[in-house]
Copies of this chain bind each other. A is one copy, B any other.
């Protein structure tokens, strides 16, 4: 009855043989073959640091949306945007938005903030000791920064936000992390900084913990909305009135009215986003490009803001406050993921902002397309045509 632990090789666990051995155990237990999961071209020896107990792969279909016309500070020109998904209609819908925005002259995309966090908590005997510690931290920022940066070449401690309640002081370390997403980098650096702090024996310190939900990691929060996590990116465009009807089968006025309803709906139901489906675009590009898909939790929140201009043109923007992207490290170097990044010239050093700009612009296209489909009453019918609803 009791299952065995899966086999593990002490010195060389990342081989086709070991993956097969593990699959065999699972197959034997379940009575179902693991055939396709064993079909892969990626080299197992590339996988340490990405997974433990490697046993095969998942093959996720990928398509390109676009071309997307973009005027970023880093991403300039046209792009085919790789999206990996199993949800019908998705690529087609984003492509439709890209058509309209391209016809309108392209999207402007801008990274307006950038930092990754870890937020240790220091617990004191009482609130006064905690408050005094807060002042001490401000005064000793340079030493803390030096201690943090001993652990990393590319990470820089930008500043430390402080949050206080009861006898606690949370320090929210904000680091720039180059082209890595940087969660582990910041953990290490913050850990080192805290070791230095602890060595100074802050008066009245009762307890310390490297994390207690104030980062906030792998979940949306108000603090992330306000102060960003990863990149804060805006994509925006002004679309001439006359373009809507031919491509979207609705008017800018229709969209503006729908925006009012969507704003109120999102506000009243306590949504983390007043957009329709940021998560779809974020998740599909994340998956294609080797990003951490658990970060869809944070990166799917955001804001849509629109204006109907006096001449009938439609200004539309999306803001993603916590877009966590990397073009180096994590899953970016795996073969298929790297290829998807390279298809946009987004792999490696100096490319993280470019990728962030592309994702934000992609999200805008998806918002535009879905909102138009709802307004023009084409939403259900488009899913009938492309999605699993089809007869």
A297–B294 contact, CB under 8 A? Answer: no
- Which residues of chain A (16-54) have a CB below 8 Å from chain B? 22, 25-27, 29-30, 32-37, 39-42, 47-54
What residue of chain B has the Cβ atom nearest to residue A208's Cβ?
B377
Residues of B within 8 A of A351 (CB): none
B126–A236 contact, CB under 8 A? Answer: yes
- Which residues of chain A (46-82) have a CB below 8 Å from chain B? 47-67, 73, 77-80, 82
| Stretch of A142-150, A240-248, A257-265 with 4 or more beta carbons under 8 angstroms from chain B | A257-265
Could you say how many copies of this chain the assembly holds? Answer: 4
Q: Is A359 an interface residue (CB 8 A)?
A: no
Residues of B within 8 A of A119 (CB): 265
Q: Which of B25, B300, B336 contacts A294 (CB 8 A)?
A: B300
Q: Which of B32, B47, B84, B271 contacts A339 (CB 8 A)?
A: B32
Alpha-carbon gap, A287 to B277, bound state (A): 19
Residues of B within 8 A of A25 (CB): 80
Alpha-carbon gap, A226 to B264, bound state (A): 12
Alpha-carbon gap, A197 to B127, bound state (A): 38
B329–A260 contact, CB under 8 A? Answer: no
B343–A30 contact, CB under 8 A? Answer: yes
Q: Which of B86, B292, B375 contacts A334 (CB 8 A)?
A: B86
Q: Given contacts A47-B61, A53-B64, A375-B209, is CB(A226)–CB(B275) below 8 Å? A: no
B130–A343 contact, CB under 8 A? Answer: no
A45 to chain B, nearest CB (A): 12
How many residues on A have C-beta within 8 angstroms of the other chain's C-beta atoms? 174
A115 to chain B, nearest CB (A): 13
A271–B210 contact, CB under 8 A? Answer: no
Q: Is A108 an interface residue (CB 8 A)?
A: yes
Interface residue SS majority, chain A: mixed
Residues of B within 8 A of A337 (CB): 58, 86
Alpha-carbon gap, A288 to B331, bound state (A): 15
A302 to chain B, nearest CB (A): 9
- Which residues of chain A (112-146) have a CB below 8 Å from chain B? 112-113, 119, 121, 123, 126-128, 130-131, 134
Q: Given contacts A292-B86, A294-B87, is CB(A264)–CB(B49) below 8 Å? A: no
B5–A221 contact, CB under 8 A? Answer: no
B5–A165 contact, CB under 8 A? Answer: no
B339–A212 contact, CB under 8 A? Answer: no
A211–B374 contact, CB under 8 A? Answer: yes
Q: Is A222 an interface residue (CB 8 A)?
A: yes
A383–B184 contact, CB under 8 A? Answer: yes
Q: Is A386 an interface residue (CB 8 A)?
A: yes
Alpha-carbon gap, A89 to B330, bound state (A): 12
- Which residues of chain A (143-185) have a CB below 8 Å from chain B? 163-168, 170, 184-185
Q: Is A380 an interface residue (CB 8 A)?
A: yes
A216–B266 contact, CB under 8 A? Answer: yes
A42–B61 contact, CB under 8 A? Answer: yes
B60–A57 contact, CB under 8 A? Answer: yes
Residues of B within 8 A of A61 (CB): 42, 47, 50-51, 54, 56-57, 334
Q: Which of B65, B127, B272, B329 contacts A220 (CB 8 A)?
A: B272
Residues of B within 8 A of A388 (CB): 49-50, 184, 329-330
Q: Given contacts A80-B29, A218-B278, is CB(A389)–CB(B185) below 8 Å? A: yes
Q: Which of B42, B51, B274 contacts A213 (CB 8 A)?
A: B274
B262–A279 contact, CB under 8 A? Answer: no
**What are some 20 contacts across the A-B interface (CB < 8 A)?**
A2-B67, A5-B67, A35-B41, A40-B59, A49-B386, A50-B87, A50-B388, A51-B86, A51-B88, A59-B334, A112-B130, A113-B164, A167-B236, A210-B377, A213-B266, A217-B276, A220-B220, A260-B306, A263-B263, A279-B294
